[in-house]
Amino acid sequence: MMKKHRLHIFENQTEIGFMEVSDAKGEALLEQVQISLSSGTGLSFTRTVSAGERRILESSPQGIKLLSSETLFSNR
């Protein structure tokens, strides 16, 4: 599984968004974005990386069906 990297963007300690990449160079790409956004904007950032996945499955006579999945992130 390719790791996902996420850059959380905060303004006045409130998260206003995030950017997620799953490229092999994801960490380096997010670092470039962070540098571009941080110059004099007053924004702050945290970065996380995927650490696993939570899945909800349904089992029936027809087989197992994936209902949803959620990527779990941890501080890098």
* Mean pLDDT, residues 31-35 taken together: 92
* Domain total of the chain: 1
Residue 76, pLDDT > 80, answer no
For residues 12 and 57, give the distance between their C-alpha atoms in angstroms, rounded to a whole number.
39
Which residue range(s) make up the domain with 49?
Answer: 5-75
Q: How confident is the model at residue 18 (pLDDT cuts 50, 70, 90)?
A: very high
Residue 24, pLDDT > 90, answer no
Looking at residue 39, its pLDDT comes to 82
Question: What is the side-by-side strand order in the sheet with 5-11?
Answer: 14-21, 5-11, 43-60, 63-75
Residue 32, SS3?
helix
